[in-house]
Copies of this chain bind each other. A is one copy, B any other.
Amino acid sequence: MTVENRRARSPRGSGDDLRDALVTATAKLLETHDLNALSVRTVTSATGVSPTALYLHFTDLPELLRAVKARFFGDLRDQLTAVGGTGRDRVKALALAYLAYAREYEGRYAVMFHAHRRTDAPSTPAAELVELGWAAFEPLIAAVGAVLPDASVDEIRETSLELWLALHGRAQLSVAMPWFELPDEGRYVDRLVRQVLG
């Protein structure tokens, strides 16, 4: 992974500028590079600082990646809240927007649902991520609630989750196994919404 030579960054005014710059640079690199092509050195080099500068704002590389994940979940939520429509059409539009996000930003989606951890760490839930995940999920819950006015909160949540898990299954598979041919997104969403919403 060769990174263009940038001029060394002048000492900065203050605050979280470098932190933001590192997150932005990492997000950009993920558009064109694999997750494990990311290193402290490529990220800092792309930002124009020394490798050790990363540790001024993050405890380690995984924490930087968590911050990047958080940004991606925020972006996804923004895309979904911008979706229009009402009733069942709105549910379908949200489903299509979700699949579109995964398709357009494959690298992001791979990182957002990347299965790391495993025994070593105490599986730190990273409260911020939990919250952002739920926040991104909310528009779908609201849209499903509008379609099922007589359903309880639990029923709405369960139904929304079924929709989301089917969307995630398709999105994640297409990222993990791009060679696996899947039916048209529109058709998939039509059938899914009919099956789950009745």
Q: Which residues of A contact B (CB under 8 A)?
A: 32-37, 106-107, 109-110, 113-120, 123, 125, 130, 133, 158, 161-162, 164-170, 172-173, 175-180, 182-183, 188, 191-192, 195-196
- Determine which residue in A109, A114, A118, A176 has the highest number of CB atoms from chain B within 10 A of its CB, and name it: A118
Given A113-B173, A113-B177, A173-B113, A119 and B165 touching (CB < 8 A)?
no
Q: Is the interface of A mostly helix, strand, loop or mixed?
A: helix
A195 to B191, CA, bound (A): 10
| A118: B residues at CB distance < 8 A | 32-35, 37, 106-107, 110
> Contact check: which of B117, B165, B175 meets A166 at CB < 8 Å?
B165
> Could you say which residues of chain B place their CB within 8 Å of the CB of A32?
118-119
Given contacts A130-B180, A165-B173, 15 further A-B pairs with CB under 8 A are A32-B118, A32-B119, A33-B118, A34-B120, A35-B115, A36-B36, A113-B177, A114-B115, A123-B179, A158-B191, A162-B191, A162-B192, A164-B169, A168-B173, A195-B195
